[in-house]
A = this chain, B = another copy of it.
């Protein structure tokens, strides 16, 4: 099926793992967390339990590093049966601070793609996670000038997108979202009759994964890297 992008006037970009590296740092943090607690459980078990704890706390803490760190601390207490050392707790807090302090590492070709597209489209950023972290990363990225609007949202469900497009006076038929998460950046847009292009990142958080059934028959394109966008949009 050929997809027609000729109506598109506004392109929304996800930020984490679409414009810059992010999930890799969470994977690294989980590996470090596993090592810190390896005396209590297998790395695999720790990984699974931490994921469950994150999901359990998600309604309270939302997305982002601070909630992740709080979940790691809680999991350390639980998995050690309340015998984890203060030094390990301190090490967990430090993992979080290191994550927050990571320099922004742009993905390949991001800047030139944005530069080209910004000549023909209004570009916006729609990202979830911690407001302060995302603002800091955007500032550090040097990409701010390419965007007409930045929106940090608490979640990326259909309702969040509908409200935002409505608020920004953008018709769904004129909007294209670009991002690495089928669950957050692609499917909700198809459901509200906007368009989406999927640019997978090499690693995806389990929580963001979707089943083949959910994507079946949905009209979106997948490209391997951001610069492939320029084949359809210019």
Contact = CB atoms under 8 A, between A and B. Distances in A.
Interface of A is mostly: helix
Contacts of A60: 97, 100-101
Contacts of A87: 82
B66 A93 contact: no
A144 to B, nearest CB: 11
B82 A130 contact: no
B86 A130 contact: no
A90 B82 contact: yes
A210 interface: no
Which one of A60, A82, A101, A131 has the highest number of Cβ atoms from chain B below 10 Å of its Cβ?
A: A131
Interface string A47-73: 000000000000011100011011001
Nearest to A68: B66
A70 B82 contact: no
A135 B152 CA distance: 12
Which 7 pairs of residues, A with B, have the shortest CB-CB distance?
A: A62-B132, A82-B86, A66-B66, A132-B154, A131-B154, A131-B131, A60-B100
Interface of A: 60-62, 66-67, 69-70, 73-74, 77, 80, 82-87, 89-90, 93, 96-97, 100-101, 130-132, 135, 149, 152-154, 167
